[in-house]
Chain A
Amino acid sequence: MALETEIAYFNEMKAKLLDAHEGQYVLIKGREIIGVFPAYEEAYEVGFQRFLQAPFLVKQIIEKEPTEQVPLLALHFQRAAIQ
C-alpha cells in the first residue's frame, strides 16, 4: 500500500507531534518529517515542490480522526464483504 511507511512513522511520532503541534499539518516522506504547517495548502505546496507526483503524506495532527460518511461506498464495501 502506498504511504505505508509514512503512516507508520506518523503513528510512531503522533504523541510527540500532538504535544508540540496539535491542530497543525505535518508533511512526511518516508521516515522523515519535512515540516509542520498551519494550513494543509502550505504542506501540499512544499510537498509538490519537493516530490512532484511521488507519494507523500499530509496529515492533520489531531487525537482522533473523524470518520467520513459516504453511504454509496459503504454499500460497496458491504457487497464486497458478502461476496
Chain B
Amino acid sequence: MPLFSKFWRQQNGASDPQRLRAAGAALQVEIAVPPQLAAALQQAGQPIPAPHIGLAIIDTGASVTTVDVAVLNGLGLSPTGTANVATPSTTSVQQPIYACILSFPGTPLPAIPFNQVIASQLAGLGCVALIGRDILQGCMFVYNGVEGIWTVSF
C-alpha cells in the first residue's frame, strides 16, 4: 500500500506543529483531462491539453473534491453536470461538475483514475484543489498535529 508522509521540522530537527497548522495537509497535485477524453482527442487528431500542477489541501470537512474552475477551463474541459452544495442557510446552491484525473507527482501515491469534481474559485486559498472524502474513502489518512506530521496511504 503506497504511503506518503510529510514531516514539518524546525532547523534543530524538532517537530514543528505550528507549520503544519498553518500549511494544512498539503501536497502537490497534477490535474489532467480524463483518459477517455485524451483518447478521443488523439483519435480526432487534436492536441491533448498539458496537465496543470499545483497545490492540493486535504479537507476532511468536504464530502467531495473541489478543483479551481480556472484550472479546469484551462484544460479545455466543459461542465458535465451540477451538484447541490450546502450553504449556512437552509438552501443549497448548484455548482458545476467536471470530470478530470488527479495524480500526485513526487509521491508514491497512485493516480485517481477518474473523478467527478466540483468547480469553484479557489485562488484565494493558495491551492488548486481541495481533496474531499470522495477520495479519502479509498485511503487511510493520519493527522498528527502534536508531532507536525501527516500521512496518507492509498
Contact = CB atoms under 8 A, between A and B. Distances in A.
B78 A54 contact: yes
Contact of A59 (B81, B95, B114): B81
B81 A3 contact: yes
B81 A58 contact: yes
B26 to A, nearest CB: 14
Interface in B6-47: 34, 36-37, 39-41, 43-44, 46
Nearest to B114: A41
Given A7-B82, A54-B78, A68-B63, A40 B96 contact: no
B81 A69 contact: no
A83 interface: no
Contacts of B46: 52
Interface of B: 34, 36-37, 39-41, 43-44, 46, 59, 61-64, 66, 76-89, 92-93, 95-96, 99, 114, 116, 118, 120-121, 125, 130, 132
